Amino acid sequence: MTDTKGTGIMNHLFAGWDPWHGPIPARSAGALVADRPGAATAFAISNLQERGEIFIEPQTDVYEGMVIGENARPNDMDVNVTKEKKQTNMRASTADEAIRLIPPRKLGLEQAIEFINDDELVEVTPKSIRLRKRMLAANQRPRRAD
């Protein structure tokens, strides 16, 4: 863009076909899937960080079946990302520790398409790119045997 100042023209020539190299490998890790609608909380995300890598920020609206992260293990896991901290009127010296969140991994369109498995879809809207399961309801989704 800087070399052509936005006036560059791109074209290509078809080079040929390659022989079949076998099936395209899928990712070996599972997904962290939201199990209920609501707004994601920092408290829930901080507890889920040890389970895998998170794709969303706090206060993001989620829905059942939305993929919110990558599980460290091979199977998919339904998680409650809307869970809030229990409020109490008792005071303790360690009760209000600061929550430290690892910055979420933001997926672009190409990274999202690379990431999905056969049972997942990419939603593209003007404001966001989201991943979701093909079947949103957890009781209707088949379990992945790994």
pTM for the model: 0.76
Would you give the end-to-end CA distance of the chain in angstroms? 45
pLDDT of residue 2: 63
Please report which confidence band the pLDDT of residue 25 belongs to, taking 50, 70 and 90 as the band edges.
Answer: confident
pLDDT above 60: residue 29: yes
pLDDT of residue 95: 58
Whole-number percent of the chain with pLDDT over 90 = 46
Name which of 59, 72, 55 is nearest 132 in CA terms: 55
Average pLDDT of span 105-120: 90
pLDDT of residue 93: 61
pLDDT of residue 85: 84
- Alpha helix (H) residue ranges in 1-146: 42-48, 109-115
pLDDT of residue 96: 60
Average pLDDT of span 113-142: 89
Cα–Cα distance measured from residue 56 to residue 146, given in angstroms and rounded to the nearest whole number = 26
Cα–Cα distance measured from residue 102 to residue 46, given in angstroms and rounded to the nearest whole number = 8
In the predicted model, what is the mean pLDDT of the chain? 86
